């Protein structure tokens, strides 16, 4: 229960001896309130001006919410594929809504839906960054794969009609009683021409490298300008969409700095994460609810299992972010391929204060098909035994991208993954 804003203000004029200021009267009123308020009203909240953001931590109902399965939509494939489709197809509002029905059906253990809205470019008309595909030349567009051409047409049709498919996904997830977060790829390095941004064209020397997948399209977070640009993109997305918060996906892609010591990298990335947390607090106050911040930690491209120490060497002091109350939950994943060796127990010991979820990638690589239902169950049970608080599914839907050879993902397995717990649906 919140007091009206004027009642939470404090008098800044010095008190005269024997005189009550407005602030003193409010303090006395607060004591009377706490003495006589019914127990269902809960404790009196602190005035916003006195809240220490680094001490807020996760003492909210949303922080202890059960999340058995977290499901990530990449914001890409879902706009060109649908049930029974073979090859890129036109997608309607009904098709977008059906995507949520496929994962949030009665009995499904999917409790949280995440919707990605960027990959260097933004997936919606943006004032801060660049809309996907808009800086490709006509010659380049003619060479786009069929999936990208169809995607571009689908998005143009949605936005021309005044509809935003990502807003629809988020709204449908919440309508089905699911937590709905944005997902933001921190440093995507796919490097296709349709992912070209004006920011990179204006500052080619701020990239991490010169070859595709080796930093040519990833930005150097050692530069203040890059961190500021990234923070402004994140804020724009959060303010655009009615979401429950945002995930910072440091695993797409897990490289952020050209140089600098570990401590220098950590200090610079800390400044960005702290800024995002502060922005979420500000927007949350405007919307009268706390907005969550989660992180998907950086991996090591599959060379070695990701640990808190390897993440810190990359500039991501995830345990520190949790201790400071900046993040509400953490996901540990591999890069692209399922290996079954995530050291969840190590992460749990390093981060005891917030939930830690284990990721399952969609394939074991080597040209093999996507995981079967049995393989998903096996991977989820392994994560549970390792101490994971739930499982996080990435690229679950990509078997629909195979054109004439496309096949349906094992949606029925969503009934089985993740352990039931107190408050589970």
Q: Of 268, 240, 258, give the one whose Cα is nearest residue 166.
A: 240
Q: Is the predicted pLDDT of residue 12 greater than 60, yes or no?
A: no
pLDDT at 57 over 70: no
Instruction: pLDDT band for 63, please (50, 70, 90 cuts).
Output: low
Q: How sure is the predictor about 59, in pLDDT bands with cuts at 50, 70 and 90? A: very low
Range name among 149-153, 163-167, 330-334, 404-408 with the lowest pLDDT average: 404-408
The kind and range of the H/E element at 248 are: strand 245-249
pLDDT at 52 over 70: no
What pLDDT is stored for residue 220 in this prediction?
98
Alpha helices in 261-372, H assignment, sequence order: 262-287, 308-313, 318-323, 344-350
Q: 220 — phi, psi (to 5°)?
A: -90, 110
Per-residue model confidence (pLDDT) at position 64: 66
User: pLDDT tier at 65 (50, 70, 90 boundaries)?
Assistant: confident
Assess whether pLDDT exceeds 60 at residue 204.
Answer: yes
Higher-confidence residue of 61 and 148: namely 148
| Spatial separation of the C-alpha atoms in residues 272 and 22, rounded to whole Å | 38
Minimum mean pLDDT among 83-87, 179-183, 313-317, 359-363: which range?
Answer: 83-87
Residue range 283-299: average pLDDT? Answer: 98
The two structure tokens encoding residue 219: 């930005």
Task: List the single range of 20-24, 68-72, 164-168 with lowest mean pLDDT.
Answer: 20-24
How many C-beta neighbours within 10 Å does residue 92 have? 15
Exposure string (b/e) for 202-218, b if CB count within 10 Å is 16 or more?
ebeebbbeeeeeebbbb
Nearest to 339 by CA among 303, 393, 389, 373: 303
C-beta atoms surrounding 220 within 10 Å: 22
Burial tier of 38 (Cβ tally within 10 Å: 0-12, 13-18, 19+): exposed
Cα–Cα dist 116/122, whole Å: 10
How confident is the model at residue 420, as a pLDDT? 66
Q: What is the mean pLDDT of residues 38-64?
A: 39
Residue 416 has pLDDT above 90, yes or no: yes
With 50 as the cut, is the pLDDT of residue 174 above it? yes
More confident of the two residues 209 and 49: 209
* pLDDT value at 7 more than 90: no
Residue 410: CB partners within 8 Å, gap ≥ 6?
A: 371, 372, 373, 376
Q: Which residues contact 258 (CB under 8 A, 6 or more apart)?
A: 208, 220, 222
pTM to 2 decimal places: 0.85
Structural domains in the chain, sorted by start: 66-415 (3.20.20.80)
């Amino acid at each position: 229960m919140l007091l009206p804003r004027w009642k939470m203000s404090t008098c800044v004029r010095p008190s005269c001896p024997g005189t009550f200021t407005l602030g003193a009267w409010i303090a006395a009123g607060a004591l009377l309130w706490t003495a006589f308020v019914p127990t269902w009203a809960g404790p009196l909240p602190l005035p916003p001006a006195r809240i220490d953001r680094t001490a807020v931590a996760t003492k909210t109902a949303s922080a202890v919410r059960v999340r058995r399965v977290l499901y990530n939509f990449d914001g890409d494939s879902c706009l060109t594929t649908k049930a029974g489709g073979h090859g890129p197809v036109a997608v309607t509002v009904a098709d977008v809504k059906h995507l949520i029905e496929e994962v949030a059906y009665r009995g499904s253990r999917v409790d949280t839906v995440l919707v990605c809205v960027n990959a260097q470019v933004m997936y919606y008309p943006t004032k801060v960054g660049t809309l996907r595909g808009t800086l490709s030349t006509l010659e380049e567009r003619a060479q786009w794969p069929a999936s990208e051409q169809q995607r571009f047409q689908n998005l143009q049709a949605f936005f021309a009609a005044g509809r935003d498919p990502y807003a629809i996904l988020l709204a449908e997830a919440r309508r089905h009683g699911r937590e709905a977060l944005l997902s933001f790829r921190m440093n995507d390095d796919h490097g296709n021409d349709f992912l070209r941004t004006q920011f990179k064209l204006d500052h080619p020397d701020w990239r991490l490298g010169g070859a595709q997948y080796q930093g040519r399209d990833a930005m150097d977070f050692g530069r203040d300008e890059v961190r500021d640009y990234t923070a402004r993109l994140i804020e724009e997305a959060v303010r655009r969409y009615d979401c429950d918060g945002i995930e910072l996906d440091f695993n797409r892609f897990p490289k952020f700095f050209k140089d600098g010591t570990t401590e220098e990298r950590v200090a610079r990335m800390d400044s960005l994460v702290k800024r995002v947390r502060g922005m979420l607090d500000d927007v949350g106050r405007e919307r009268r609810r706390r907005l969550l911040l989660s992180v998907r930690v950086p991996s090591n491209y599959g060379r070695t299992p990701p640990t808190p120490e390897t993440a810190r060497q990359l500039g991501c002091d995830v345990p520190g972010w949790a201790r400071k109350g900046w993040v509400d939950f953490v996901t540990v994943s591999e890069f692209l391929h399922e290996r079954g060796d995530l050291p969840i127990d190590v992460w749990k010991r390093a981060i005891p204060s917030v939930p830690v979820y284990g990721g399952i990638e969609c394939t074991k690589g080597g040209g093999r098909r996507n995981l079967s239902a049995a393989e998903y169950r096996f991977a989820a049970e392994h994560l549970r035994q390792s101490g994971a608080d739930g499982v996080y599914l990435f690229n679950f839907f990509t078997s629909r991208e195979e054109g004439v050879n496309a096949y349906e993902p094992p949606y029925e397995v969503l009934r089985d993954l993740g352990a039931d717990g107190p408050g589970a649906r």
